[in-house]
Amino acid sequence: MKFEEIVSYRRSTRAYKDIPIDAEKVRRCIELATLSPNSSNLQLWEFYHITDKETIKKLAKACLGQGAATTAQQMVVFVTRRDLYKKRAIQMLQLETLNIKKNSPPEKQDARIKRWHLYYTKVIPFLYSNFFGLIGLSRKILVNIVGLFRPIVYQVSETDVRVVVHKTCALAAQTFMLAMANEGYDTCPMEGFDSKRVKKILKLPCGAEINMIISCGIRSENGIWGDRMRVPFEEVYKRI
């Protein structure tokens, strides 16, 4: 399908046929999702591909028994891992250093490496560290003072950073659903679930959070709830 056809085909599917889907194709769609844009390239996400029928049943119950979950052939749980920022920052610094040595003129390499070193060893820990909201509050106070003199990003509280990580993960989820549509498979992003039970089922660490659960399968005849509706484009489109 062409891209416009893929976007048009994708619908939130509330019921699936009892027809197995290829787990390797789903895995490939998850792999494509990792190519999604993400903040500072930290990739603070994990993807739990659920194919075990008993685990799907447990997750369906945690998803409040909604049809999109109880009829799913497979599920993918999108998880944020803000707690891994230190590990990811080290990995990204190593990557950027190699990129600079490979692609930058020799006379500019030291300065560029120094800039990335500052970013990943000072700026990222400053933004992502947390302690019961107190560090985020201090960041807020600092940027509001600096903002009096020059442009600056104000979204630096612990809640703001959490939102950034979840936005990043949601971008990956959208890429996954479009990739699945290209395979002729259907999906439904679900936000109605018991997050504590899901974390227990998947044995997730304390620092992990559930971004969304996406059910997968092939849509049944009653799987789509009517025609697609969107508010008039002129109502949301603002050209400046």
State pLDDT tens for residues 31-55.
Answer: 999 999 999 999 999 999 999 999 9
Strand-strand pairing, 74-80 and 45-50:
antiparallel
Angle at 167 between CA 157 and CA 32, to 5 degrees: 145
Task: Give the pLDDT confidence of 167-181 residue by residue, as tens digits.
Answer: 999 999 999 999 999
Mean pLDDT along residues 129-134: 81
Burial class for 190, CB neighbours closer than 10 Å (0-12, 13-18, 19+): buried
Domain limits of the chain?
3-82+171-225, 85-159
Q: How confident is the model at residue 135 (pLDDT cuts 50, 70, 90)?
A: confident
Q: How confident is the model at residue 184 (pLDDT cuts 50, 70, 90)?
A: very high
Question: Residue 220 has what pLDDT?
Answer: 97
Mean pLDDT along residues 15-25: 98
Question: Residue 70 has what pLDDT?
Answer: 98
Mean pLDDT along residues 50-67: 98
CA atoms within 13 A on the CB side of 183: 24
Q: Which residues of 34-64 are buried (b: 16+ CB within 10 A; e: fewer)?
A: eebebebebbbbbbbebbeeeebebbbebbe
Closest CA to 188 of 2, 8, 12: 12
Residue 133 has pLDDT above 90, yes or no: no
Q: Which residues of 122-158 are buried (b: 16+ CB within 10 A; e: fewer)?
A: eebeebbebeeeebbeebbeeeeeeeeeeeeeeebbb
Query: What one-character DSSP code corresponds to residue 119?
Result: I
Mean pLDDT along residues 110-132: 94
Query: Beta-carbon neighbour count of residue 165 at 10 Å?
Result: 22
Q: Which residues of 201-236 are buried (b: 16+ CB within 10 A; e: fewer)?
A: bbebeeebbbbbbbbbbbbbeebeeeeeeeeeeeee
Question: Residue 130 has what pLDDT?
Answer: 85
Q: Which CATH class is domain 3-82+171-225?
A: alpha beta
Distance CA 196, CA 204 (A): 10
Question: Residue 132 has what pLDDT?
Answer: 77
Calculate helix-pair angle for 158-182, 134-146, nearest 10 degrees.
Answer: 100
Question: Residue 68 has what pLDDT?
Answer: 98
Amino acid occupying residue 197: R
Q: What is the mean pLDDT of the chain?
A: 96
Strand-strand pairing, 45-50 and 186-190:
unpaired
Residue 208 has pLDDT above 90, yes or no: yes
Closest CA to 89 of 114, 121, 45, 118: 121
